[in-house]
Amino acid sequence: MMESTILVLWCLISSPMITNGDDDMTKFLPPCNYSAIYNFGDSNSDTGGIAAAFYPPASPSGNTYFRRPAGRASDGRLIIDFIAENLGLQYLSPYLDSIGSNFAQGANFATGGATILRPKESWFENGVSPFPLEIQVEHFTQFKDRTSYFYNQAKDKCSKQRLPRPEDLSRALFTLDVGQNDVALGIQTLSYQQQQAAIAKIVSQFISQVRILYQRGARAFWIHNTGPIGCLPVTCVKVKDPIAGYLDENGCVKSQNEIALQFNNHLKGEIVKLRGELSDAALIYVDMYAAKYELISNAKNQGFKQAFEICCGYHGIGYDVWCGNKGNVNGSEVHAGSCPNVTSVISWDGVHYSEAANQWIATHILNGSLSDPPVGIARACHNRGPSL
């Protein structure tokens, strides 16, 4: 599936050092007391949207925490789950899931394989989601209008308890984690120069969707940049006899990470500009790249094994057996089940992170140490001006 494929040193200049979090001014601000979380993104934060729309993941996905497949591309919880826990809110139900969903404290519009730009590919051909950011934002618009109508029409408390209160929208947190698939598609299909040229278009579309969310009532935004795509094990394990300079000092594909960093730098600049335009909104830019690269480059010091070990799946030159599937490796049939030591590996399936890695990353971003402005998520609703 394409999501598995496409989610496949500028860092020292543009990535901040990990610090202790909230700056001296921010830590005295009151907590935001968010009413809900509305999330937009790809498989990094999809809690079951693409599974509801197409086919659910098979075991052993979800086994570490949920004890069953739970619509997540991991053995357990994702970063968005740890965000919800940190804020004392329930895990987000996917907007596309009609069974057992509870939207009282938010909804998840993310779908695995999603892009910022409109896709030209098909889910059935290569796993690209038919629900890009633009459609996710449209889904939110419909969600907002319809839940408000049914909440106000409800005659009893029971009918309202799974719906958000319309008057609470202004206190919701809007989280966005999308763009990695756009970068990955460019790596696969464009020259390096064409990839660079495409960045402005991708970021422009992202910013336009943030504006629409603002017009729909969103005021607090927590925006993740894209991660080090050149460090995904499914990519790195296929590199054989690289030329000098192809890999960086940690074994990641340097050119792929450079494109990701250029995307991030452009995104950050446009967010800073947007703060001046949306003066009553709080737009927090979160350096997810720095957190993930720190974990990968110091895996053993953080209690993990070698950074490129894949827990569920077999991948190498000439073969891919994805997590939960059967396949052939060097003439032998294998079943891609979970490794026995999932809590000590960073990569769950060669593309997505394990629950243990997601928890480590969440811990290092939620305190604001990698945010611009440097504010923790609990106080991210406070407007700090156009730039710091």
Task: Tell me the β-bridge partners of 301.
Answer: none
Starting at the edge strand found earlier in the chain, the sheet holding 371-372 runs 106-108, 37-41, 173-177, 220-224, 282-286, 371-372
Q: Catalytic site residue 349?
A: yes
59 is catalytic: no
Helix (H, G, I), strand (E, B) or coil at 44: coil
Strand 106-108 to 220-224 pairing: unpaired
Start-to-end Cα distance in the chain: 41
Active site residue 372: no
The residue behind tokens 């995904």 is: 232
Buried b (16+ CB within 10 A) or exposed e, 349-370: bbbbbbbbbbbbbbebbbbbbb
Helices (H), 18-156: 49-53, 79-86, 123-126, 133-153
Considering only CA atoms, which of 254, 173, 227 is closest in space to residue 361?
A: 227
**What is the Cα–Cα distance from 304 to 342, expressed in whole angstroms?**
10
Please list, in sequence order, all residues whose beta carbon lies within 8 angstroms of the beta carbon of residue 146, skipping any fewer than 6 positions away.
none
Q: Which of 349, 354, 369, 371 is catalytic?
A: 349
Q: Which of 139, 224, 315, 352 is catalytic?
A: 352
Q: Is 291 helix (H, G, I), strand (E, B) or coil?
A: helix
Structure tokens at 70: 């739970």
At 223, the amino acid letter reads I
Inter-axis angle of helices 133-153 and 192-215, nearest 10 = 20
CA-to-CA distance for 164 and 171, rounded, in angstroms? 11
Strand, helix or coil for residue 97: coil
Catalytic residue among 43, 61, 297, 347: 43
Which residues are identified as catalytic? 43, 349, 352
